[in-house]
Structure 1
Amino acid sequence: MNTQHAPHESGTPDRRAIERVVADVERTQRAKDAEGFLTLFHPDALWTTAHGKVLLGLDAIAEFTRAVLPAAVWDGDVTYEVAHVQFLRPDVAAVKVRQVYHSAEGDTEGAPLYVMTRQEDGRWLLHAYQNTEVRTG
């Protein structure tokens, strides 16, 4: 194990900053706020949706998000929880998230993996985003 990355344990400033980004993802998804959601992405980000749609770059992510998020049929009750953070380098983290959409018909779960990068100004942004629908049974 490379102990150089050990300082990034729970409660550190970087970990808290990453948790805030995940909380902002939840907040913007609940509000169906496409513009707020888009501020969380690196300009060169790539995103694969839970259904396999690949979006390369912020322009493609923005076009998809602006078309889909405001018109989403779910009632906006969604939760995001940081399940695990693995620092790959001091400025790069793999973040496993538990995502649950709550509805009267039952919960639907996703298992996103975010690769986040810390910018020169200290902000953490979503750089690669892979979502996977969790199926039960």
Structure 2
Amino acid sequence: MATFLDPNDDLLTIPFSAATDFTDLADCCDRFAETLIECRDPAQKMALLGRIGACLALLRPTLGETIPPHLIARFTVTELPDVAQRFEPDADVLCDYCQSLTQLLCGQALPPEAERTLTGLLCELVWLFAAELKAPRWVTVH
């Protein structure tokens, strides 16, 4: 089933900037990738790739920064989740992978099957990247 963006949907007009919290940028990446994976319209795909690329470009230089104090509670849990990832690149490398795939797909020079495969890979990597950015980092000790 083809996915078409509703003209009333604000997905392509969601404002974000360098001042946007990294967690909100990660959420945007999630939403853009969810829509991209189902999208069949070339113009909408390009717009979504552009939005993913813009979010990644804003996130990349901030990956080594400390988490702002107002977000620390969000990343503190009583027990860290048991996550069994087999593919564990650090955030910098994962962001670079996502940016490279986004640029490649924006070139529109791939055979259709390769484009579908790389779009799927991009979405999976974006979801992994966003999940890593939003994952708990600290445990409270009582």
Q: TM-score range by the shorter chain?
A: under 0.3
TM-score of the aligned structures, taking structure 1 as reference length: 0.26
Higher RCO (C-alpha 8 Å, min separation 6) = 2
- Asked which structure has the greater CA Rg, the reply is 2
**Greater share of residues in helix:** 2
